[in-house]
A and B are shown apart, each in its own frame.
Chain A
């Protein structure tokens, strides 16, 4: 009999809806591959659901808090249940930009200069006093965003110093730690890494603003961006971002799948890693499956490879 797969989806994060879309598609693919499949909406009863269902493998199709940050991974470790994707440590590192960026820098992977601030530092240590120094170091404009990256919400671009308080307050809504990051102007490129068997980087995807929109603003406006696959980069730069993506995937200890988001600086052609997602979207129209399709791996195959790799562990 084929192994039984529990697809974990839904959950309590702000990305619940996307998770259902990813998870339902994963479940359909697993069924098509002949696995026995059960889909579980993750809530406080998940332990009893899993005890009852006794799956051979959990496919984690959760995004954001509790799904991508090591929480569910830790729980499954405790229950002795194998699961897809990165382990606890890599999940924690991937979720927290202040940690992953620090590791990238140590590994020689370029990432924009940044400083992390916690609510504790602000409330108890008067960290607001150093904001001026931070601005002096990073320059303007700068980007303020929640350090935990599950949701891409709460990202604020600051052009003038007086906008900083509102931007910090906004970013702190999504977590107790935020990062202030130097703004790098350039091309936005996402590289997916398929880590099953031997990890390999898929073709980079470029996300570009349409004409008539400012570059970074367009990224956040419906219908204002378009994408190119593969990214419009010279061959050497394509190879460079792919090798950096692989290096990022490996140095955080990721497994099975990840997506590394870059900005390729216009002036210098330097690719900077902005973040790494340990559970990229798997919906019909998400970047990861599209990059895989471009590399000749259709969605069902892709899910099959991830499941097989996880079952072998």
Chain B
């Protein structure tokens, strides 16, 4: 008798937390995997990204995909980009060879100026270049997390970060947010409870500005309090600042790193302000942590792309950052407005949504009895897609929420997409009322 193990391909992330099964979402096709007995325990806690699994359906051209998280790269000056690419290629053998693990030095030098604009004082030796900030998250997980370690994050939080930390078998405690971001009082309670149980969280992961997926921003008062709490409970803050520069109204709040430079690991990326295809991000970390990150990076990929690091350096070497951002922000403001107006116009009573002042996302909360994972099938039938809320929670809650993206689609599509979605929501509410006699 042959014996194999079975793997299942999910259109939705499976919700297994330890041994406890939180969800009974069914698989769409069974898979034999005869190597199952060889895999590490780690793979059991890996989740496939809901976003990725959705791509197969949402890449159809007839679907309005409000599901993505991509910037509008068509806004870039592509002629300029290809000229720079050509020039960089002629720059000796460097671009086609290995580089240093900490990253291309001229880029790190340029980044110290970029960081100075955020009031973060650092030298090139405080910076590690990563393959997007996603690698920063992965490396942070690698150097801090043992199986079963506790970390604290926002509820909801970035699905890619949750997946990175879950793959290191972290126990993620997510704490709710309101319009002023993470509820820091609740963080204090949680930290105190953990302390009583003898647990020190390895770090607190936050996306303080224009959060993914909720769109909200943490207030300055809360940032200050969070920094104090981290010190008080002997833990570290990991600050993911992917969207900070895409602020639509006033000057964005200073990064948390400025409030306590020695106890915050800062993750930055060019993915949202330039191009995610180049895969260039960076980490600013206290020296001992930076050293561990470099060791971890050497094991992961030796170095980031020598070519794309030079492209970024050359691009911003001849581009005024303020003008560059102003152009992007102008486009995104219009799209955000389009989306918020459409939400107000079409969504039925009982639906709530956030009003982001920057970034890429609107977070929609439906009546509690609706399940956005199931509802996605109907939405796709109506040719519109979103990301179901539960992807952004490690424990599978958030089932009545969804993330909508406005950065990538044309304004007319945004409006039509929200209209279709609202129709689906309305039908679901009507069906619920008939079921609830």
Q: Please report A residues at the B interface, Cβ cutoff 8 Å.
A: 12, 14-18, 20, 43, 63, 119, 122-123, 126, 128-129, 151-157, 165-166, 168-174, 207, 210, 212-214, 216-230, 232, 281, 283, 285-287, 290, 294
B31 contacts A285, CB within 8 Å? Answer: yes
A154 contacts B26, CB within 8 Å? Answer: yes
B371 contacts A151, CB within 8 Å? Answer: no
B residues in contact with A171, CB < 8 Å:
374
Roughly how many angstroms separate A174 CA and B267 CA in the complex, as a whole number?
Answer: 40
A-B contact count (CB 8 A): 162
Closest to A157 in B: B24
B44 contacts A222, CB within 8 Å? Answer: yes
* Cβ-neighbour of A14 out of B369, B377, B432, B437 (below 8 A): B377
Within 8 A of A (CB), among B43-71: 43-44, 53, 56-57, 60, 62
A287 contacts B30, CB within 8 Å? Answer: yes
Roughly how many angstroms separate A283 CA and B30 CA in the complex, as a whole number?
Answer: 10
B residues in contact with A219, CB < 8 Å:
26-27
* Cβ-neighbour of B28 out of A14, A214, A294 (below 8 A): A14
**Shortest Cβ distance from B435 into chain A, in angstroms?**
5
A residues in contact with B430, CB < 8 Å:
123
Q: Give how many B residues have a beta carbon under 8 Å from the other chain's beta carbons.
A: 53
- Supposing A166-B371, A212-B19, A285-B7 touch, asked if A223 and B43 sit within 8 A by C-beta, the answer is yes
A residues in contact with B378, CB < 8 Å:
173
B residues in contact with A217, CB < 8 Å:
21, 24
Roughly how many angstroms separate A122 CA and B28 CA in the complex, as a whole number?
Answer: 27
**Stretch in B8-16, B127-135, B204-212, B283-291 with 4+ CB within 8 Å of A:** B8-16
A residues in contact with B39, CB < 8 Å:
223
**B295 within 8 A of partner (CB):** no
A221 contacts B16, CB within 8 Å? Answer: yes
**Shortest Cβ distance from B373 into chain A, in angstroms?**
8
Task: Determine which residue in B7, B29, B62, B430 has the highest number of CB atoms from chain A within 10 A of its CB, and name it.
Answer: B29
- Supposing A12-B60, A154-B374, A286-B30 touch, asked if A126 and B437 sit within 8 A by C-beta, the answer is yes
B14 contacts A221, CB within 8 Å? Answer: yes
B residues in contact with A210, CB < 8 Å:
5
B residues in contact with A221, CB < 8 Å:
8, 14, 16, 21
B27 contacts A220, CB within 8 Å? Answer: yes
**B23 within 8 A of partner (CB):** yes
23 A-B pairs whose Cβ atoms sit less than 8 Å apart in the complex: A17-B57, A119-B431, A123-B431, A126-B437, A128-B435, A152-B26, A153-B25, A153-B374, A157-B24, A169-B370, A169-B374, A169-B435, A216-B24, A220-B21, A223-B5, A223-B43, A223-B44, A228-B3, A230-B1, A281-B29, A283-B29, A286-B32, A294-B2
**B36 within 8 A of partner (CB):** yes
Roughly how many angstroms separate A118 CA and B36 CA in the complex, as a whole number?
Answer: 41
Within 8 A of A (CB), among B409-437: 428, 430-432, 434-437
A286 contacts B5, CB within 8 Å? Answer: no
Apart from A152-B29, A154-B377, A174-B374, what 14 extra A-B contacts exist at CB < 8 Å? A16-B56, A16-B60, A17-B53, A165-B432, A165-B436, A169-B431, A173-B378, A213-B19, A221-B16, A222-B44, A223-B43, A226-B36, A285-B7, A286-B29
B44 contacts A156, CB within 8 Å? Answer: no
Closest to A122 in B: B434
Q: Please report B residues at the A interface, Cβ cutoff 8 Å.
A: 1-12, 14, 16, 19, 21, 23-33, 36, 39, 43-44, 53, 56-57, 60, 62, 369-371, 374-378, 380, 428, 430-432, 434-437
B residues in contact with A174, CB < 8 Å:
374, 377
A residues in contact with B56, CB < 8 Å:
16-17, 20
Task: Determine which residue in A16, A217, A223, A232 has the highest number of CB atoms from chain B within 10 A of its CB, and name it.
Answer: A223
Roughly how many angstroms separate A217 CA and B8 CA in the complex, as a whole number?
Answer: 13
A173 contacts B21, CB within 8 Å? Answer: no
B residues in contact with A157, CB < 8 Å:
24
A residues in contact with B7, CB < 8 Å:
222-223, 285
B residues in contact with A225, CB < 8 Å:
5-6, 8
A169 contacts B25, CB within 8 Å? Answer: no
Task: Determine which residue in A20, A228, A294 has the highest number of CB atoms from chain B within 10 A of its CB, and name it.
Answer: A228
A residues in contact with B14, CB < 8 Å:
220-222
A169 contacts B428, CB within 8 Å? Answer: yes
B residues in contact with A153, CB < 8 Å:
11-12, 25-26, 28, 374, 377
B residues in contact with A212, CB < 8 Å:
19
B residues in contact with A224, CB < 8 Å:
16, 21
A222 contacts B8, CB within 8 Å? Answer: yes
Task: Determine which residue in B9, B32, B62, B431 has the highest number of CB atoms from chain A within 10 A of its CB, and name it.
Answer: B32
**Shortest Cβ distance from A72 into chain B, in angstroms?**
17
B3 contacts A220, CB within 8 Å? Answer: no
B residues in contact with A16, CB < 8 Å:
56-57, 60
B434 contacts A226, CB within 8 Å? Answer: no
Closest to B13 in A: A222
A residues in contact with B380, CB < 8 Å:
14
* Cβ-neighbour of A229 out of B1, B11, B377 (below 8 A): B1
Roughly how many angstroms separate A230 CA and B4 CA in the complex, as a whole number?
Answer: 11
B371 contacts A169, CB within 8 Å? Answer: yes
A residues in contact with B1, CB < 8 Å:
228-230, 232
B residues in contact with A228, CB < 8 Å:
1-3
Closest to A227 in B: B6
